[in-house]
Amino acid sequence: MAFWTPTYVVKANSKIQSVYTGSYEAAKQNNWADKLISTVPVESYQQINDMMIETLTITEESGRETLSDLKSKPIVIESKRFSGGFKIREIDFLSLPQMASGLTRYTEAAGQLGAEAALFGQRLGLKFFANGLTTNGLDGVPFFSASHPTDFSSALNGTYTNYETAKALTAENFAAAVAQLETRVMPNGTSRNLRAKYLFHSPQLKLKAREVTGAQFLAKTGGGTSSNVLVDYDVIPVSVPGLPAKWWGVMAENVSPSGINRAIGIGVLQDFSIADFSDITSYTLRQSSELACSAKGHIGGFYAWPYLIHLCVEP
C-alpha cells in the first residue's frame, strides 16, 4: 500500500525508538535499585559465580593465599526474562491520518514498555529483599541473619549479625547500625574498611529517615545532647517502595573489579531494548503485512555479600 514503505516505516521506527528510550531513562531516574543493587553485564551465569569467587579471595601482602572467603558451591541465581510488544500493521499505513493515529498507539505502547523495562530489575531486587529472612545466602544461613559466619567457609572464626528487630529508626539506633556495619572484619581479623553509604527505608519511614540523616545531635540518656553530628555521616536516605512498612537499614559498598560491590546483585545477560527496523527493506515489507515490535531483556538476581548490609525492623 502507498505508505507501507521503508521511508515511512523507518520514520515511525525512529519515533518509537525515541519514546521507548526516553521513557526508559525517565523511569530510571526514580530507580532506587541503581543505588542499592549491583548491576553487571555478563555472558553467562557461570561468569557471575567466577566473578564472585575472584572478588573475595583473601591474600596476605606477600601474595600467599591465606583464606577463601567464599564457599566452593554454586551461587543460586533467579532468572527472569522480560518480553512485551505490539505490532506495526500495514493497515495503519493506508493514509496519513491513519498513520498519525497508528503512531500514537505505537508510541504509547513503546512508552509503557520502556518504563516497565527500566523497573524490571528493581522488582526482582525487591523480591530478594523480601525473601532475605528465609532464603539462604552464600554462607548457608538466611541472608538476613543474626548468625552469619565471619568466614564464609567456616564458623570457627566467629559470627556477626546483619539483622536486628525492635529497632526504631532513631538517631541513636541509626548510629549503632552504622557502627555494626563499619566494624565488620575479614576472616583473618582484618577490618573490611567499610563505610555506610545508604540508609534504605520504607516510604512510611521517609520522614524519620530525613530527620535522622539531618539531625544535628544525638540525645543523651538522662537528658542533654552529645556532639555527634549525624549530617557528617554523609549517608544518603533511599526510599524503597514495596519494602515492609517497618523495615530500614544501612548499606555499604566495597571495591570490586567485578562490579559486584553491593549486597544484592543482578547480572544482565540481554540488554533491555526494543526491535529496531531502521534497516527495513521493501522486500521485507512486501512479504508481510505486519511487523512484531517487541522489547526483550534477560537478567538474573542473586545474593552477594551479606556483610555489606544491616537490616533493622521497628517494633
Query: 284-293, pLDDT tens digit by residue?
Result: 999 999 999 9
Q: What is the pLDDT at residue 71?
A: 44
- In this predicted model, which residue has the larger pLDDT, 148 or 47? 148
- What single DSSP character describes residue 191? B
Q: What is the pLDDT at residue 74?
A: 55
Does position 49 have pLDDT exceeding 80, yes or no? no
Q: What is the pLDDT at residue 55?
A: 54
List of residues 6+ apart from 218 with CB closer than 8 A: 171, 172, 175, 225, 226, 228, 230
Query: 203-246, pLDDT tens digit by residue?
Result: 999 999 988 887 555 555 555 555 444 566 889 999 999 999 99
Average pLDDT of the residues in 99-127: 95
Look up residue 102 and give its amino acid: G
- In this predicted model, which residue has the larger pLDDT, 176 or 65? 176
Q: What is the pLDDT at residue 264?
A: 96
Alpha-carbon distance of 28 to 164, in angstroms, equals 31
Residue 50's nearest CA partner among 72, 67, 78 is: 72
Chain-wide mean pLDDT for the chain? 87
Q: Which three cell numbers stand for residue 231?
A: 549530617
Q: What is the pLDDT at residue 307?
A: 94
Q: What band does 50 get if pLDDT is binned at 50, 70 and 90?
A: confident
pLDDT > 90 in the chain, percent: 69
Of 115-119, 150-154, 278-282, which range is least confident?
150-154
Backbone angles phi, psi at 23, to 5 degrees: -65, -40
Average pLDDT of the residues in 67-87: 74
Distance set, CA 104 to CA 11, 88, 112, 115 (Å): 13, 12, 13, 17
Query: 148-174, pLDDT tens digit by residue?
Result: 998 876 667 789 999 999 999 999 999
- Rounded to the nearest 10 degrees, how much is the dihedral formed by the CA atoms of 240, 243, 248, 253? -60
Q: What band does 60 get if pLDDT is binned at 50, 70 and 90?
A: very low
Q: Taking the model in full, what pTM does it have?
A: 0.84
